[in-house]
Amino acid sequence: MRRRFYGGAALLVAACTALAACSSSGSSGTNSSTGPSASTKTITIGFVTDLTGVASSGFLTSKLGIDAYLNHLNATGGVDGYKIKYILADTNSTPTGALTAVQKLVQQNNVFAIVENSSDFFGAEPYALAQGIPVVGSAIDGPYWGDPKDTNIFAAAGVTNENYTSVAAGQFMKSQGVTKCASLGYASSPSSALAAEGFVKSCELVGLKSGYLNTQFPFGSTNVGPIALAMKAAGVDGVFFPTVPSTSFALVEALHLLGVKLKASLLPTGYGGDLLGSPRRRTRPRPASAPPTWPRWA
């Protein structure tokens, strides 16, 4: 999705800044296919993301961001004279897949550092920490990014304090006329579940009511019919879905088809590459006076 495209470039900026400091330390490095090499002037890093599996709808364009930034970076001299290349690794949208991917990058590819943009990197972080591998990431997969014991990780855009509930989301909902808030989180994703809980608390802090909260939804599922019915029955008119685009869009559409009039909906994961790559839907012409409907992709 668009956010992931630019996010990938932002992660590379942070990673390459760190690599510049390391590469200028005077160490001649090792083999040119691994860490910094004084002879060939290259640095190899790993890029870990969710290219396949249930989370992939939110990460398919991550590679475009990495490629765009590195092509520009290397064409303009690289980092402190070093060209940066990367090895792509797919988590398959699971914590165990993330661990397998990182183990291969470290043990077989001997990468110097890792850039991650994944919903499941928490499965690999204990291993990366034990191996002393620097990781620059999007910090979207769990609260461990704020843990001082994880000394090898660096969040590209800062971390969220999981012990503090911001009222910003609640204030926004209130400004839109929302009266009852709802959110949905994944059982297997710490960050998704915590974000859903935090949103509902934010609404309550500004005087709004909690209409529905579910933090036990299966990761990536689009079987949202029962959820939509429950939200309608609760009178929900403001939603926040910290879920992958496939789940978010399915639920917003289900609510629309049930006649739920949402005053505000926040989808922090944006839209995915699968939507951008889908063919245009043919629709019959609408009268000029007809109100727009949702979803309207054509």
pLDDT in tens, 153-197: 998 876 666 666 788 999 999 999 999 999 999 998 888 898 899
Domains identified in the chain and CATH numbers: 2-155 (3.40.50.2300), 168-276 (3.40.50.2300)
Q: Other C-beta atoms within 10 Å of 140: how many?
A: 24
Query: How far, rounded to the nearest angstrom, does the alpha carbon of residue 25 sit from its chain's CA centroid?
Result: 33
Rounded to an integer, what is the distance from CA 220 to the centroid of its chain?
Answer: 13
pTM over 0.85: no
pLDDT-based confidence at 20, cuts 50/70/90?
Answer: very low
Query: Over the stretch 73-92, which tens digit does the pLDDT of each residue have?
Result: 999 999 888 999 999 999 99
Strands (E), the chain: 42-49, 83-90, 114-117, 135-137, 153-155, 180-186, 209-217, 238-240, 264-266
36-40, 53-57, 186-190, 287-291: the lowest-pLDDT one = 287-291
**Residue among 253, 256, 270, 242 nearest 182 (CA):** 242
